């Protein structure tokens, strides 16, 4: 069934093993349901390759290439050169990501290693004139400090989990705030406050699929057409028509990538 919205999913992981058994079917279904464009986000050495391949195979899939903080130990000159090569040969690579800091998991690489790799990939984004997709988990202060140290780099703070004050700081330096299905959860007071406080012109919608499925699909495998529930929740919080939200967030994504490459 066709979706009532024109959906752009700004953060997805369709190369994830959760789709190994039916990837082609899922991608066919979401396109038929109104998903016009999605950005598949790499997070590991392996997914730099698989993300790039998806962009070449599907006309509506674009990509971001980078190393997630959980895999920061894998970032080296070889990976950097591979990203540069793919960006230069594939015009569908729109951003550097998923990069950033994750202090939640004890088994993650040392924090100093994460910060070094984050800075290196911010430097790479600046060199390539591409926006960044930032992962920030329990690392708000260090994330903001590094973002501020690269004033020429813009992007989105993906799956935003910080306070209204932190969101305002991010917006002040030119970043967008990524809103996932978490905004539909009953206990999601903090992100709802962020959506209420931040101008619609600085919000993006994303699934982070296969994770973060919105209510009423919470706990199930996520997919891009479920963004309709995020759009409708934002419209309720802001008291505006969902079609207005839909048009605005799509325009925001276009603005983010317009002046790159």
Q: 35: helix, coil or strand? A: strand
List beta partners, residue 177.
Answer: 157, 203
Q: 223: helix, coil or strand? A: coil
- The CA–CA distances, whole Å, from 217 to 3, 29, 176 equal 16, 17, 26
DSSP state string for 128-158? HT--EEEEEES-HHHHHHHHHT-TT--EEEE
Q: Which residues are annotated as a binding site?
A: 11, 13, 98, 135, 158, 208
Please state at what angle helix 164-172 crosses helix 140-148, rounded to 10 degrees.
Answer: 10
Q: Which residues are annotated as a binding site for a divalent metal cation?
A: 11, 13, 98, 135, 158, 208
């Amino acid at each position: 069934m066709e979706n009532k919205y024109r959906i752009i999913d700004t953060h997805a992981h369709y190369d994830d093993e959760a789709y190994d058994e039916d990837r082609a079917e899922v991608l066919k279904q979401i396109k038929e349901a109104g998903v016009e464009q999605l950005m598949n986000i790499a997070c590991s050495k392996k997914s730099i390759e698989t993300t790039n391949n998806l962009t070449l195979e599907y006309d509506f899939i674009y990509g971001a290439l980078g190393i997630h903080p959980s895999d920061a130990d894998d970032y080296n000159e070889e990976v950097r050169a591979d990203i540069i090569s793919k960006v230069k040969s594939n015009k569908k690579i729109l951003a550097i990501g998923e990069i950033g800091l994750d202090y939640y998991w004890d088994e993650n690489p040392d924090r100093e290693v994460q910060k070094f790799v984050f800075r290196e990939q911010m430097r790479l984004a600046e060199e390539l004139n591409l926006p960044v997709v930032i992962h920030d988990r329990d690392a708000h202060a260090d994330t903001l400090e590094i973002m501020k140290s690269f004033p020429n780099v813009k992007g989105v703070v993906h799956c935003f989990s910080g306070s209204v004050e932190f969101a305002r700081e991010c917006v002040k330096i030119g970043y967008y705030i990524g809103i996932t299905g978490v905004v539909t959860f009953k206990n999601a007071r903090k992100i709802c406050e962020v959506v209420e406080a931040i101008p619609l012109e600085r919000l993006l919608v994303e699934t982070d699929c296969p994770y973060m499925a919105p209510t009423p699909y919470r706990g199930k495998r996520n997919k891009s057409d479920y963004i309709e529930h995020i759009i409708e929740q934002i419209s309720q919080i802001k008291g505006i028509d969902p079609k207005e939200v839909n048009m605005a967030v799509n325009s925001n994504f276009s603005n983010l990538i317009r002046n790159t490459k």
